[in-house]
Amino acid sequence: MLILTALLAGIVFGVGLVISGMANPAKVLGFLDVAGSWDPSLAFVMAGAVGVGVIAFALARRRTVSLLGAGMQLPKARQIDRRLVLGSLTFGIGWGLAGFCPGPALVALGMGQTKALVFVAFMLAGMGLFAWLERRAG
Q: Which of residues 41-60 bind another protein (CB under 8 A)?
A: 41-42, 44-57, 59-60
Regarding 37 and contact with another protein (CB under 8 A), the answer is yes
Regarding 137 and contact with another protein (CB under 8 A), the answer is no
- Closest separation in Å from C-beta 138 to another protein: 13
- Exactly one of 62, 75, 137, 138 binds another protein (CB under 8 A); which one? 75
Quick note: the x/- pattern for another protein over 78-117, rule CB under 8 A, is: xxx--xxxxxxxxxxxxxxxxxxxxx-xxxxxxx-x-xx-
Spatial CA neighbour of 96 closest among 50, 38, 33, 51: 33
- Closest separation in Å from C-beta 8 to another protein: 6
Spatial CA neighbour of 45 closest among 31, 60, 35, 33: 31
- Closest separation in Å from C-beta 117 to another protein: 9
**Phi, psi dihedrals of residue 78, rounded to the nearest 5°:** -125, -20
Regarding 3 and contact with another protein (CB under 8 A), the answer is yes
- Closest separation in Å from C-beta 83 to another protein: 5
Regarding 4 and contact with another protein (CB under 8 A), the answer is yes
Report how far apart, in Å, the C-alpha atoms of 6 and of each of 19, 50, 56 are.
Answer: 20, 20, 16
Please compute Rg for the chain using Cα positions: 17
Nearest 5°: the CA angle 112, 87, 111 is 5
